[in-house]
Each structure stands twice: as C-alpha cells, then as structure tokens.
Amino acid sequence: MTDILYSLNEHERNCPEQIAIKHNEDTITYRQLNQYANTLAEVIKDAQSPLIVYGHMSPFMIVGMIASIKAGCGYVPIDTSIPEERIHSIIGKIQPSFILNTTEAQMEFNNCEVLDTSVFNRDSLITEFESQMKGDDIAYTIFTSGSTGEPKGVQIRYESLNEFTEWMVSLNQLGDHQQWLNQAPFSFDLSVMSIYPCLATAGTLHLVDKTMINKPKLLNQMLEEAKINVWVSTPSFMEMCLMLPNLAEASYGNLKEFFFCGEILAHRTAKMLLQRFPSAYIYNTYGPTEATVAVTSIQITEDVLAQYNPLPIGLPRPGTTLSLADKDELVIAGKCVSEGYVKDEVRSQAVFKTDKQQKHYYTGDKAVFENDQWFITGRIDFQVKLNGYRMELEEIEFQMRQVDIVKEAIVVPVYKDNKVTQLQGVVVLNNPLDIDDEQSVIHDIKQALKQVMPEYMIPRKIIFKSQFPLTANGKLDRKQIAEDVLA
C-alpha cells in the first residue's frame, strides 16, 4: 500500500537534488521538501487541530501540507482568492493552533500562532521526524460551498488519500520522474490529483498561478519551458488552453497524459484534444470532494469517442462500489468516503450513512449505468459547476438576501452544451428601483457579495423583478423565474 510519507523519505534518499515543486523561479528539491517539512512538523507536533496553510501557488504551501501530515494534525488549505469573512468562518470552525502564511500579507488571529516562511530560515534543518499520522487520522479538510450559506469542511483520512494516490499511480502510464502540471488552487481537491501522485512517483510538480491563467502568453511560456508530461486540470481549463493554436503534439512532444476531473468532459473537447495529441493517454475521471477526489475513470480513445456521446465517467476504482438510490441518485461506498463534515453532525448525517460497516456517500448526482459504463445525467439539488468550481445556488441566494436592499433572490444558471456558462441573479428589492439607479444598485450588491464569497460565485448579470411567481403550494417558482429570464 502506498504511503506518501514513506515515498518522500525514499526520494530524499534516492534523488535528493531533484526538484519536487516549481513555481516560476521558486523551487524545492526532495531533500528540502522533507527537511523543511520535518522542521515545521517539530514546531506544530502538539497541535490538536489542523494546520491552516494559507497562500496561492507557493511551494511552501505543499511543505505545510506534508509537515501537517507528519505532525499528525493534517491541514486545511486556504487560497488567497477566499474572502476574509469566509476565512474567518473557516477559522472559527477549525480553531487552529497554527497558521502557515506563505504570503507577504499580515495575518493575525486570536488564540492562534501565525507562522511565516522564516520558520524555514535556519542553519540546521531537521533531518529526521517520526510521523505521527495514523491511517484513520484526518490528512486534510477541504471546504466547499454549503446551501445554508456556511461552507462545509470535508474531512479526508490519510488511508483514503493513500488509496487514491495508489490508484492514480496505477493509471499513470508514464512511470516515475515525470513533469506534472497542477492547475487547481489548493483549496480545491483537484489539486490533490496532481500533488500526491506526482510526489509519490518522484516527479516535479509545476504550479500554474492565476496570473498565468489570465495571460495565455505567460501560460504558453511556462508550458514550453516546463516540458510537462502529465496534465491535471478541469475540462474548462483545457478548453481555454486549446485556444493556444500550438498546443499540439508537434510543439509539445513531451505532453503524453491528461487527467480531467471536476465537471463534465464535453465530447467535442476530448475529440479536439485527441486530434491534437493522437498518442496521448486521456482520462475522464469523476468524483466529489467527499469521496477523495475521484472514484471512476475511463481512458478516452477513438473508439470511446465513436461509441459514446455524451461521454461516460467510466468504472469505479478498486475498493469502491457505486449504486443508485431514490431519484437515481449516485451513492459511493468504500474507504474513499469522507469521515464527514467537520463539526457538523446535521449536514453529515444527511449525506453520509453507514451500512454493513461500509461508509456510503449520497452524492446528489443523478446517474445511470448503461452499456457497461456509468454516466452522470444531472443533479437532484441546486448544486452547479461553473468553470470547475462547485457551488450551491442556495448559498449564493442566501448571501444575496443578506444584502439589506434585497428582499428575495434567485440564481439562474445559464447552460450551453449541458455546461453552466454563467450565473444570473434575479432580485426583488425591498423598495422599488428607480431606473436611473440600476447600475449603482448592481454595483452595491456585487460589492457586498465580494466580502463574503469568492469572485467565481458572484452572478455576472443581475436583473430586477417587482415580484416573483409562486408555485401552487406557495414556493418561489424557480422554473418559471428561470424561463422568464432565459426567454
């Protein structure tokens, strides 16, 4: 069985000077990764709550993760895109003893020590640290959107992380010492799909930051220089990159393997990619954060493209079983299933059940098993994915209703080819809107939302109604509201 910490000790012995993590000019070798992590683990070894690792794409974020696993407390990653109020809500829930701040920004919280990267500026780093992490300890907790307005902290055990890593390593056809690309911010569990399989196989992890994502020229430059072999991203990110005309086998001969997860992989995206990289291995994988990143996979070949449209999500990984509950809801069972939401009995009990000593997670995804393959066909609730980001429409609506001028709010997702392309907020105000004020009211609502939600959750367009239609039993008629907006 894979053990990430064991692998890192081996790599320190076998390839100490190999670069483990790279972001622009910042690099960390396998020796540094292990020794920095030992040094931090020694500082936090008595912590009773997870380490918060705060920052964007600093290699020290990963040092913090490994250190927290060694120390036995695990970590909670927080990206700089998370607004302050949300950070406070996460910190309030976790009550951390330590925060590793990898940015230049000042941070201060009550009852908690904020460490910065000067903790690693020592003449002598610690060379040995005996891991305190056990299989059923929580390795990480990732917060995801919650319909009541409060994010949910999904707790993943170390053995689930190891099992996931082992499966990913078995899918990887290229072997050890590859150059891996990580696109997702660390607050999203898609990043787990590149971090641990890369580190377990002594690869080099290249971190894509938000500046590169916004400037295709920088991204192109990074991709060319890094000579990436293994690509891990959302399909949306790939769609954006396919606009780079030279992203094809002729210019990127090293790029041989692609892993996608987090949202629908559109048939046309996969087809275009296979045309550009005919000899590459392309995988569509599926899974929720609550079941350790991904639980199914299928390699997309010419045959698969010819046989299926839309594409299936494939078959479950070893140790995991899938079944259907009421309304064709997909249920995942196995060691991959999370320990539950942190300090949240009510929401945990609603979706995590134990049956015959096996943990089950009720995903909210609608699915069907057909032609020997699993397919996702929709949701039984109001969760959506926009550019790979998961969000509950009800959370956005809750936050919109908190804005004092707003009486009622509904968020309508706009779809193209089965994928959400943008969100539109439909609002009834407390006082009738003076038409001259429309732009400034929209601005005020968006500003208020920015304080409490990441930018990607804020509806692009906001429109006003004088009242909402109701259904026969008196509820807001979402369907009618959406139809009116999209008409």
Residue 369 token pair: 């098993």
Number of residues in contact with ligand AMP, rule: CB under 6 A?
17
β-sheet bridge partners, residue 299: 283
Q: Is 204 annotated as a binding residue?
A: no
The reply on whether position 363 binds ligand AMP by CB under 6 A is yes
Residue type, 158: Y
Binding status of residue 289 toward ligand AMP by CB under 6 A: yes
**351 with 361: CB under 8 angstroms?**
yes
| Residue 413 within binding range of ligand AMP, rule CB under 6 A | no
Residue 144 within binding range of ligand AMP, rule CB under 6 A:
yes
Flag whether 378 is marked binding. Answer: no
* Residue 145 assigned to a binding site: yes
Least distance in Å: CB of 374 to ligand AMP? 10
Is residue 185 involved in binding ligand AMP (CB under 6 A)? no
Q: How does strand 204-207 pair with strand 19-23?
A: parallel
Residue 180 binding ligand AMP, by CB under 6 A: no
Give the other-Cβ count within 10 Å of 276's Cβ.
18
The residue among 51, 90, 100 whose CA lies nearest residue 74 is 51
Question: Is position 365 annotated in a ligand binding site?
Answer: yes
Give yes or no for residue 264 binding ligand AMP (CB under 6 A). Answer: yes
In whole angstroms, what is the distance from residue 269 CA to residue 231 CA?
15
Q: Is 465 annotated as a binding residue?
A: no
Q: How far is the CB of 232 from ligand AMP (least distance, A)?
A: 13
Binding pattern to ligand AMP, positions 29-68, x when CB under 6 A? ----------------------------------------
* Residue 337: both structure tokens together: 């299933």
CB of 385 to ligand AMP, least distance (A): 5
**450 lies in the binding site for ligand AMP (CB under 6 A):** no
Q: Smaller CB distance to ligand AMP: residue 212 or 265?
A: 265
Return the residues of window 188-227 that contact ligand AMP according to CB under 6 A. Answer: 189
Among 73, 100, 313, 441, binds ligand AMP (CB under 6 A): 313
Residue 146 binding ligand AMP, by CB under 6 A: no
For residues 225 and 455, which CB has a smaller minimum distance to ligand AMP in the complex? 455
416 annotated as belonging to a binding site for a ligand: no
Strands 257-260 and 230-233 come out as parallel
Pick one of 385, 395, 410, 459: the residue that binds ligand AMP (CB under 6 A): 385
**Minimum Å distance from CB 152 to ligand AMP?**
10
Sequence-ordered list of residues with C-beta below 8 angstroms from that of 349, at least 6 positions apart, any chain: none
The residue among 41 and 291 lying less far from ligand AMP, judged by its C-beta, is: 291
Q: Kindly state whether residue 184 participates in binding ligand AMP, applying the rule CB under 6 A.
A: no
Choosing from 365, 392, 394, 395, the residue that interacts with ligand AMP (CB under 6 A) is: 365
Q: Is 267 in the site for ligand AMP (CB under 6 A)?
A: no
287 is in an annotated binding site: yes
- Quickly tell me which residue has 């939600």 as its tokens: 453
Listed ranges 115-123, 284-292, 392-400, 456-464: which one lies at the site for ligand AMP (CB under 6 A)? 284-292
- Of 74, 77, 153, 288, which lies in the binding site for ligand AMP, with binding defined by CB under 6 A? 288
Report the distance separating Cα 407 and Cα 431, nearest Å: 9
Q: Which stretch binds ligand AMP (CB under 6 A): 129-137, 260-268, 395-403, 478-486?
A: 260-268
**454 interacts with ligand AMP by CB under 6 A:** no
Q: Which two tokens stand for residue 54?
A: 């705060």
Any contact of residue 262 with ligand AMP (CB under 6 A)? yes
Location of structure tokens 């949202």? 263
Q: Output the smallest distance, CB 264 to ligand AMP, in A.
A: 4
Buried b (16+ CB within 10 A) or exposed e, 441-460: bbeebbebbeebbbeebbbe
Q: Quick one: tokens of 483?
A: 């139809």
What letter represents residue 2's amino acid? T
Q: How far is CA 312 from CA 131, 190, 305, in A?
A: 40, 19, 10
141 lies in the site for ligand AMP, by CB under 6 A: no
| Residue 292 lies near ligand AMP (rule: CB under 6 A) | no
One of 390, 401, 450, 465 touching ligand AMP (CB under 6 A): 390
| Token representation of residue 401 | 């209703």
Is residue 156 a contact point for ligand AMP (CB under 6 A)? no
Within positions 96 to 115, which residues make up the interface with ligand AMP, using CB under 6 A? none
Residues of this chain that bind ligand AMP (CB under 6 A): 144, 189, 261-265, 284, 286, 288-289, 313, 363, 365, 376, 385, 390
Q: Which residues are annotated as a binding site for D-alanine?
A: 189, 293, 475
Q: Which residues are annotated as a binding site for ATP?
A: 144-145, 284-289, 365, 475
